[in-house]
Chains A and B, each alone.
Chain A
Amino acid sequence: MKNSSTNIITSGNIRCSRLLSEDGSVTVFPGQAVDPSTQIAYRKIWRKHFLMNVTESLGIASDENIRDFLTIKEGEFVSAGEVIAKRGGKKNQVITAQVSSRFLGLSSGNLIFETDPDDIENVIAGFPGVVTDVVPSRGAFLETIGSYLQGKWGNGKKGQGILLSMDMEKGGIFGQDNITVDIAGAIVFANTCLDPDALRSSVKMSPGGLIFGSLPSSMLSVAMKMPFPIIVTDLIGVGRLSDPVHMVLGENIIRFAYLYSYSCGIQNKQKPEIIIPQEEYVPEGESLLKKLKKGDQIRIIEGFHGGELGIVVELLPGMENDSEALSDIDRIKVCIDQNTEVVLPLSNVEMIHVK
C-alpha cells in the first residue's frame, strides 16, 4: 500500500504509531509515560497443552463433582509444587503441579493446563515518550519532542545509544578501520558500508546501532543477521546520506538516539524510524523522588493494594505539606483505576522499569 512520503523532523513534536498487525491486547493507556522497553501491545498464544487425570489419582467416584476437589480456578496460574487438588477425610490425598502452567479448564474428568506462552507479536515503545492515543486492540500513538527521521530499510531490530558520526571527509564509508572501542554502545552514522566483513566484525564492539545513507542489496542479508539495529535512510545501492538526513543527524551528535524498525514480515508496512528526543533519556537513577514524574507507572509493594500497578498523578514531597500527619515522608498520589486514587509513602512503591 502507498507510503509516498518520508518524514524528517529537524526539531518538533514527534508522533509515532506502535500498532499490532492484527487485533491483540493493548497494555498502555492515554497519558502513560513509557520507556523504550515498555510493552505497548502483544498477541500471545500458549504453545503447549497437557492433560492431568485427577479422577484416578484422588479416587473420585463418577457421582462426585471433580470441581469440589480442585483448589485452583480456571485461568489461574500455578507454580510447580503448588497444590491443585486435594481430598480430605480418611483418604487425605494431595495433587501438586509438576510444572508451572495455567489452568485452562476441564474435559472429561481431565484437567487441561497450558505452558510455553509465546508472544507471536510484541510491540514495544522503542523510545521514551507519552501515550497520547490508544487504538483499541491494536496499540497506541506515542509522542515526544525532538528530531525524527524515517528510513527506507531496517533490519527489524531496535536499539539506542549516543549518536556518533564517521569521518565524512574521508568518504564516510564504514570499514574495518572504524571498528574501535569508540563505537561500543553508540549509534554510528555513515554514508555507506561496502565491506560485509566490516559489518560482521563490528559485532565485537556491540554498537547501539548503525545508520547508513545507502547499503548495497548484497549486504542486506548480512545486515539482517546483525544483533543490533541497522537502518538505511536513502538508497539500496551505493550512495550517500542525503543532505536533510545528514543535517538532522549532524545536529544531534552526542545526543541519545533510538532506532526502531519493525520485523521484516509481509505485514510490515511501516518505515524504520530514528528518534532523537530533545530531553535526554536518563536511565534509572538513584533517588526515586527525582526519578518519578507524573504519568510514571509504579507497583504498590504491600498493603490493601499490594501488588497492583498504578500511575503517578501527583508528587507530594514531605516538607511541603506540613498539615498532614505524615508530612516528613515523601508521598505520591497514585491512580490505580478510574475510580481509585490513593496516597502512599514513596518507599511503599517501586517503579516499574522493564529491561
Chain B
Amino acid sequence: MNQPQDLARTVLYLDIGTVNTRVSLFDYRDQSYLFIGAASAATSGGDSNYSIYSGVVDAVRKLERATKRRFLDQNSNFVIPMKLGITGVDQIGFSYTCTSDPRIALMGLTRTGSLQNLRNLLANTGIRPVVEICAADGLDISENIDRLLNADPRIVILAGGTEIGAEKAVYRLGEILMLACKSLTREQRPEILFMGSALAGQQMERVFSKISDFSYAPNVLEIGSIGHSSLDSLLSVMNRNAEKQVLGLKDLVERSKTTGVPGEFAFGRSVRLMSRLIKENQHVLGIDIGSDHTVVAKAKNLDLSLEVLPLGMGKRITELLNNFELSELQSWIGFQIKESEVQDYICNKSVYPDLVPGNQYSAQIEQALTRFVLKKCAKEAGMNSILRDGSLGMVLLCGSVVRNVEDPGDSLLIGMDGLHPFGAVDYFLDMNGLTSAVGALAQLNPILISHIMNASTFLNLGKVITPYFNQKNSKIQDGKKFMSVAVRDDAGNVRKFDVPRGRIYRIPLDFGKNYELDFLKIPKEVSIPGVRTWTPLGFKSGCFGIVFDTRGDALELPKDRTSQISKLKFWKDELGPWTIQPS
C-alpha cells in the first residue's frame, strides 16, 4: 500500500471544454483527499489563432486568487512538484472536449470478428465510426477507396486476423488504405493505427511510416477490445490527433508533464465506476449537456454504453429547433413571451455560446431547451426501455446549464420532465463539475478517486418515485388521494402520507439521513416499475427529501398559455424551495 508521503499532496484537474476551461483542486489532508475548490475561465483559441493554454492560465490564476496559493510561475509554467507547502502542484490530470469528431474509420476482415472488436473498443469513447470497410463485403477496390475517401477520416484503425494467419487478406486491406492515402496530400492523410498481427504489423509499418503517421498496437482479435493496451493505444492516437487540431494542447501536455484523455471517455469511465456503487442490476444514467455535444452514459454492473450526441446548448442550439416546434418549447417557459423572442435568444446564444442567462427569463428559456435536449437524448440513445421498466436507479445531471441554476430544484424538475423515468430513481447533480475528474484521474491517482467517491461528490437531490398508470383509465381524479405511504426514520418514528394524483408531492426529510418507505395502499391500476412495494424501500434523503411524481404516463401541459404558466408555477411550488442545505 502507498504511504502518505508517496502520495501527491496537491492535485489539479483541468477540464477543457468548448466554452469553459475549469480547474479543480484536491489536497491530501488528514489521511484523505479533499476537494478544495474550482475556478473557470473562457476556453481560449476560438479561431485557431490563440492557444487554449491561455484559457488554462486564466482559470488557474483565478484559482490562485481564490485559494491564495501559487500553481504557476511567472512564465505561466506549472510549478511541479509542490514547494514550501503553498506553491506548486504535485500532480495534474486533464480531459478535453474542445475538439470536433475525430472521424475514425474502421477497416477489418469480417464484421463479426475484427470489426466487432474495433467497434467495441471505440464504444469506450462514445465515438461512432464514420465508415467501416469490411473485406468480406466483396466490394471492389475502387468502391472501397470511394467509401473511405468520402468519409474524410482523420484516424483509420485497421485490424484483422489472428497472430498466425490472414496476412494476405490484411495486406489487401492495406492496399486500399495505401491508395486512399496516395490520393490525398500529405497534410490530409489520416493517422493510422494498426491492431493486427505482429508480423503484418512490421510490413505495414515499413510501408505506411513513409506515407502517414503510423502506430501499432497489439492484435485486437487476440486480446479483445477491453484490453488496456488496445485502449491506451486508441487514446494515444486520439490525443495526438487532438493535439494537431487544437492549438496549445501539446503545450499543455508538455507543461503539465501528463497526458490528457478525451472528456467523453473520462465521463463514461466515471459513470461506469458509479454503477459499481449502486444496487446491483440497476442502471446509472449520466448525462453531460455541453455546448457542442451531449454525452449520455448508461452503466449497469460495470457494463458501459456511451453515446456522444450532436446536441448542445452552444453553437448547435439552433439545430434543436429542427426537432420540435417553437410553440412546444414556449409552452415550457413559465412567463409570457413571444415565440420570436425565444427564437432571437436561441440565435444569439448560437453566436455567443458563452452567454450566461442574466435573468430568470433567459434562464427559463435555457431550462426549457434542456428539457428537450433530455427528451431527444432519451430517443437517440435508445433509453426508452430503462426509463419504463424500472431498471434505472440513478440519474446524474451534469453540465453548466444544470449546474448554474439559482435553485437545484430547477435541475431536478428538468430531469423529471425531460426524462420522466418510472420507478424509484435517485437524482444527483454534479455541482462542481467533478464527474469527468473521477474518470480522468482514475488511472493517475486511484486513491484520490476512492476518497472523493466516498464523500458527497455530487449533490443528492432526492429520490423520485414515479408510478406508472394511464391517466385516461384511472378512476381517481387529479388532486385526490392516490396512494398511501409511511416513512420511517432511523429512530423508528413513522409518519404516514396520502399522495394525491396528478401532482409533484414532496415529503421534506433531513438531508443525508437514512429512511425506509412503506407502501401502504396502491390502486390496482398503478404500478411502480422496479420497486417491490410489499417490502420497505430504504433510501438516503436528498435535499428535496423524497418526491412522488404522480403526473401520469404522459406529461401534458394545458393548451392555453395562461394555464400553462400557472401549471409550471404550480409544479415548481409543489417541489418547494431548496430549504434544506446539505450538511
Residues of A within 8 A of B (CB): 1-4, 17, 19, 21-25, 43-51, 74-75, 104-105, 107-108, 110, 112, 114, 120, 135, 137-138, 152-153, 216-218, 220, 235-237, 266-270
Minimum CB distance partner of A214 in chain B: B344
Instruction: Give chain A residues whose Cβ lies under 8 Å from the Cβ of B42.
Output: 1-2, 4
Contacts of A43 in B (CB 8 A): 188
List chain A residues, Cβ under 8 A from B343.
Answer: 217-218
A216–B340 Cα distance when bound, in Å, is 8
Q: Report A-chain residues with C-beta under 8 Å of the C-beta of B175.
A: 107
Residues of B within 8 A of A107 (CB): 141, 175, 179
CB under 8 Å from chain A, chain B span 146-176: 146, 149-150, 152, 154, 175
Complex contact B142–A50 (CB within 8 A): yes
Question: Considering the complex, which residues of chain B in the window 315-361 have a beta carbon less than 8 Å from any beta carbon of chain A?
Answer: 315-316, 340-341, 343-344, 346-348, 351-352, 354
Contact partners of A218 in chain B: CB under 8 A: 340, 343
Knowing A267-B100, A269-B46 touch, does A112 contact B142 (C-beta < 8 A)?
yes
On whether the beta carbons of B47 and A3 are closer than 8 Å, the reply is yes
B145 lies within 8 A of A1 (CB): no
Q: Is the Cβ of A1 less than 8 Å from the Cβ of B182?
A: no
Contact of B179 among A48, A104, A135, A137 (CB under 8 A): A104
Can you give 10 contacting A-B residue pairs, CB < 8 Å?
A3-B352, A17-B47, A19-B47, A24-B185, A25-B188, A49-B149, A51-B141, A112-B141, A135-B48, A218-B340
B13 vs chain A, min Cβ distance (A): 20
What residue in chain A is nearest B353 (Cβ atoms)?
A: A1
A266 and B319 alpha carbons, distance in the complex (Å): 11
Interface residue SS majority, chain B = helix
Other-chain residue from A3, A49, A270 in contact with B142 (beta carbon distance below 8 A): A49
**Given A2-B19, A236-B348, also A137-B152 (CB < 8 A):** no
Q: Is B45 an interface residue (CB 8 A)?
A: yes
Please state if B347 and A217 are interface contacts (CB–CB under 8 Å): yes
A105–B175 CA distance with the chains assembled, in angstroms: 10
**What's the Cα separation between A74 and B143 when bound, in Å?**
19
* Complex: A105 Cα to B98 Cα, angstroms: 38
Kindly state whether residue B245 has any CB partner on chain A within 8 Å: yes
Inter-subunit contact A2/B149 (CB<8 Å): no
Query: Across the two chains, which residue of chain A brings its CB closest to B141?
Result: A107
Beta-carbon contact of B49 and A17 below 8 Å: yes
Contacts of B348 in A (CB 8 A): 235-237
8 Å CB interface, B87-102 against A: 98, 100
A48 to B147, CA, bound (A): 9
Q: Which of B141, B346, B351 contacts A153 (CB 8 A)?
A: B351
Instruction: Tell me the complex Cα distance, A46–B152, Å.
Output: 11
* Interface pair A270/B47, CB less than 8 Å apart: yes
- Please classify how large the interface on chain B is, using the bins under 10, 10 to 19, 20 to 34, 35 or more: 35 or more
Q: Is A45 a contact partner of B340 (Cβ separation < 8 A)?
A: no
Flag B231-246 by CB within 8 Å of A: 1 or 0 each: 0000000000000110
**Shortest distance between the CB of A230 and any CB in chain B (Å):** 14
B202 in the interface (beta carbon within 8 A): no
**Does B292 sit within 8 A of A, measured CB to CB?**
yes
Given contacts A3-B352, A49-B143, A49-B146, 19 further A-B contacts (CB under 8 A): A1-B42, A1-B45, A1-B46, A2-B55, A22-B245, A24-B188, A44-B185, A45-B149, A45-B184, A49-B149, A104-B183, A107-B175, A112-B141, A137-B187, A218-B343, A236-B344, A236-B347, A237-B341, A268-B315
B18 touches A47 (CB 8 A): no
Q: Which residue of B lies closest to A43 (CB)?
A: B188
Footprint of A on B, CB under 8 Å? Answer: 18-19, 42-49, 52, 55, 98, 100, 140-143, 145-146, 149-150, 152, 154, 175, 179, 182-185, 187-188, 244-245, 292, 315-316, 340-341, 343-344, 346-348, 351-352, 354
Q: What's the minimum C-beta distance from B172 to chain A, rounded to whole angstroms?
A: 9
CB pair B179 A266 closer than 8 Å: no
Contacts of B140 in A (CB 8 A): 51
Q: Which residue of B lies closest to A48 (CB)?
A: B146
B183 touches A114 (CB 8 A): yes
Alpha-carbon distance between A75 and B175 when the two chains are bound, in angstroms:
16
Chain A residue nearest to B176 (CB atoms) is A107
Query: Which chain B residue shows the least CB distance to A105?
Result: B179
Name the contact of A45 in the complex, choosing from B47, B100, B183 (C-beta under 8 A). B183
* Chain B nearest CB, measured from A213 CB (Å): 14
Set B98, B182, B341, B352: member contacting A74, Cβ < 8 A: B182
- Rounded to whole Å, the gap between the CB of B315 and the closest CB of chain A is 6
- Nearest 6 pairs of A and B residues by beta carbon: A2-B42, A1-B46, A49-B142, A217-B347, A217-B343, A3-B46
Q: Which residues of A contact B182 (CB under 8 A)?
A: 74-75, 104-105
Nearest-CB residue, chain A, relative to B145: A49
A120 to B315 Cα, complex, angstroms: 21
Query: From residue A90, how far is it (CB to closest CB) to chain B in Å?
Result: 33
Minimum distance in angstroms from A51 CB to a CB of chain B? 5
Q: From B146, which residue of chain A is reached at the shortest CB distance?
A: A49
In the assembled complex, the CB of B323 is this many whole angstroms from the nearest CB of chain A, namely: 16
- Shortest distance between the CB of A258 and any CB in chain B (Å): 18
Query: Which A-chain residue is minimally distant from B151 (CB atoms)?
Result: A45
Q: In the complex, which of the residues A21, A23, A266, A269 contacts B188, with contact meaning CB atoms closer than 8 Å? A: A23
Shortest Cβ distance from residue B362 to the other chain A in the assembled complex, whole angstroms: 13
Q: Are B187 and A217 in contact (CB under 8 A)?
A: no
Cα(A3)–Cα(B149), bound, Å: 33
- Contact yes or no, A269 B142, CB < 8 A: no
- Give the complex CA separation of A114 and B110 in angstroms: 27
Complex contact B146–A47 (CB within 8 A):
yes
Question: Is B344 a contact partner of A216 (Cβ separation < 8 A)?
Answer: yes
From B43, B146, B152, B347, contact of A1 by CB (8 A):
B43
Instruction: From B47, B184, B340, name the one whose CB has the most chain A CB atoms within 10 angstroms.
Output: B47
Chain A residue at minimum C-beta to C-beta distance from B49: A17
Residues in chain B near residue A268, CB distance under 8 A: 315
Question: Contacting B344 at CB < 8 Å: which of A50, A137, A138, A217?
Answer: A217
The distance in angstroms between the C-alpha atoms of A131 and B187, with both chains bound, is: 21
Residues on the B chain within 8 Å of A216, using CB? 340, 344
When distances are taken between beta carbons in the complex, the residues of chain A under 8 Å from B152 are: 45, 120
**Chain B residue at minimal CB-CB distance from A106:** B179
A155–B44 alpha-carbon span in the complex (Å) = 25
A217 in complex: contacting residue of B184, B185, B245, B340, CB < 8 Å = B340
Give Cα A19–Cα B45 distance, bound, in whole angstroms: 13
Contacts of B245 in A (CB 8 A): 22
> What residues of A have a CB within 8 angstroms of the CB of B52 in the complex?
1
Q: How far is the CB of B58 from chain A (nearest CB, A)?
A: 9
Nearest residue, chain A, Cβ from B142: A49
CB A181 to nearest CB in B, in angstroms, measures: 33
Residues of B near A110 (CB, < 8 A) are 141
Contacts of B347 in A (CB 8 A): 153, 217, 220, 236
- Most chain B CB within 10 A, of A21, A235, A266, A270, is at A266
A110 to B98, alpha carbons, bound, how many Å? 44
- Distance between Cα atoms of A19 and B46 in the complex (Å): 12
Q: What CA separation (Å) do A22 and B45 show in the bound complex?
A: 14
Interfacial chain B residues near A217, Cβ < 8 Å: 340, 343-344, 346-347
The docked-state distance in angstroms from the alpha carbon of A114 to that of B182 is: 11
The distance in angstroms between the C-alpha atoms of A266 and B292, with both chains bound, is 8
> Of residues B46, B52, B340, B344, which shows the largest number of chain A Cβ atoms within 10 Å of its Cβ?
B344
Residue ID in chain A nearest B55 by CB atoms: A2
- Provide the residues of chain B in CB contact with A267, threshold 8 Å: 100
How far does the alpha carbon of A13 sit from the alpha carbon of B150 in the complex, in Å?
Answer: 41
How many angstroms between the C-alpha atoms of A138 and B152 in the bound complex?
17
The answer to whether B351 touches A236 (Cβ under 8 A) is yes
Q: B142, A1: Cβ atoms under 8 Å?
A: no
Query: A235: nearest residue on chain B (CB-CB)?
Result: B348
Q: How far is the CA of A220 from the CA of B347 in the complex (A)?
A: 9
CB pair B48 A25 closer than 8 Å: no
